[in-house]
Amino acid sequence: MDRDGTLIRDKRYLSSKDELEFLPRTISALRYLSKTDFRLIVVTNQSGIARGYFTEEALKCIHESMTKKLNENNVRIDAIYYCPHSPEDGCDCRKPEIGMIKQAKKDFDLNLKKCYFIGDKFEDIQTGINSECKSILVKTSYGRFDIRSNIKPDYIAGNLLDAAYWIIIKSELAQYDKV
């Protein structure tokens, strides 16, 4: 899942853990998903590093603070992957490219066709499509405004909790298809 605008309020180049603010219902959604066998993996573009707005050390502090707050609320995050490059760098890890997804697949032996990619921007949805994951657009930030008819998510959710419910229901129904 994406970070800014999906899990936390998008502060445009968040550079300090003191600015970290979870979106409404995020902790409840992640707590719910933490009780499942799904891997909870964050995949985030962080071009602020390449642009000199903050350092990788500052990003590490933000992610440690985020993970600590989530752990205190009985939420597990299995991994956080980030791309420190600018859009002009042409790297293969910056979303909608799938370098970070490939690394997560390798690290966790994931079957991407059984995975979900959740984000608030259509480049997140394109990342899901490019990696053959099911894609969910959450209307928590840019997703409220960024409507493109040529890119179709598998589901449009009001927020992360709505997305979590949809994932759980869909996976439970899939179990019945096997019986």
Task: Give the residue numbers marked as catalytic.
Answer: 2, 4
The shares of helix, strand and coil residues in the chain, as percent rounded to the nearest 5, are 40, 15, 45
The burial of 83, by beta-carbon neighbours within 10 Å (0-12 exposed, 13-18 middle, 19 or more buried), is given as buried
Taking the alpha carbons at both ends of the chain, their separation in whole angstroms is 30
Per-residue DSSP letters for 52-101? TSS-HHHHHHHHHHHHHHHHHTT----EEEEE---GGG--SSSTTS-HHH
Q: 135: which strand partners?
A: 117
Residue that has been written with the tokens 């760098």 in this structure: 89
Task: Write the single-letter amino acid at 20.
Answer: L
The backbone torsions φ and ψ at residue 47, rounded to the nearest 5 degrees and listed phi first, read -70, -10
- CA separation for the pair 106, 100 (Å, rounded): 10
